[in-house]
Amino acid sequence: MARPVNQTGSLWIFKCIIIIIILNLISIHNVIVPLSSYVRSFTWLFDNRFDDHVADICIVGAGLSGAVIAERYATEMKQSVLVIEKRDHIGGNCYDYVDEETGIRVSKYGAHLFHTNYDRVWDYVQRFTHWIPYEHEVLAHINKKHVPVPVNIDTVNALFDLNIQNETEMDEW
């Protein structure tokens, strides 16, 4: 639920930038602060104009944690959220974009892999983006055979021509 801010244009942006600089100087990231206490700390910037309701909560940082907390607070609690981010994009280090010249997706801060064993988490992240399937497999080349690493039952079976089926059999071997 987005609500317009009572400040206008570049003055509002300038004041938010000042807050971001101050928060960076004191190393506060992904901190949830009840807006009333947050605003009292910076009333000198806003000339006490925050008596009007701007947002129910302020989240500093729109990285993965900040973005999820903001979305959950707005969706589940039905409250308004003000998110302040120092970068020109959301998503933190998980941010990527499609290069206009090549059409190739670029992970600005390096590749990131997402994995979870929880259906609830997977269903949640699926709501916001299309995921490109990826399976990570490491193989070692030993005695002219490609075998899984780290070593597991499949590795032992491949190297020693065995047919071990479970952990009990592996322990006995």
For residues 19 and 67, membership in a common domain is answered with: yes
For residues 77 and 118, membership in a common domain is answered with: yes
For residues 34 and 114, membership in a common domain is answered with: yes
Residue with tokens 């909560």: 57
pLDDT at position 4 is 41
pLDDT at position 14 is 56
Please report whether residue 133 resides in a domain.
Answer: no
pLDDT at position 11 is 54
pLDDT at position 32 is 47
Burial 60-81 (b: 16+ CB within 10 A, else e): bbbbbebbebbeebbeeeeebb
For residues 163 and 99, membership in a common domain is answered with: no
pLDDT at position 13 is 53
For residues 160 and 104, membership in a common domain is answered with: no
pLDDT at position 171 is 92
Angle ∠(35,23,92) on CA atoms, nearest 5: 95
pLDDT at position 19 is 59
Please report whether residue 109 resides in a domain.
Answer: yes
Please report whether residue 3 resides in a domain.
Answer: no
* pTM greater than 0.85: no
pLDDT at position 137 is 82
For residues 122 and 143, membership in a common domain is answered with: no
What is d(CA 1, CA 84) in angstroms, rounded to the nearest whole number? 16
pLDDT at position 56 is 82
Please report whether residue 15 resides in a domain.
Answer: yes
Please report whether residue 134 resides in a domain.
Answer: no
For residues 41 and 103, membership in a common domain is answered with: yes
pLDDT at position 17 is 57
- Give the number of domains in the chain: 2
- Do residues 80 and 55 make contact, with C-beta atoms less than 8 angstroms apart? yes
For residues 82 and 151, membership in a common domain is answered with: no
**What residues make up the domain containing 152?**
139-172
Query: pLDDT (tens digit, 0 to 9) for every residue of the chain, 173 residues total?
Result: 444 444 444 455 555 555 555 555 544 444 444 444 444 444 444 454 444 557 788 888 888 888 899 999 899 999 888 888 888 888 889 888 899 999 998 989 988 777 788 999 888 888 888 777 777 788 999 988 999 898 999 999 999 999 999 999 999 99
Please report whether residue 23 resides in a domain.
Answer: yes
For residues 41 and 106, membership in a common domain is answered with: yes
For residues 27 and 99, membership in a common domain is answered with: yes
CATH label of the domain that carries residue 37: 3.40.50.720
pLDDT at position 153 is 94
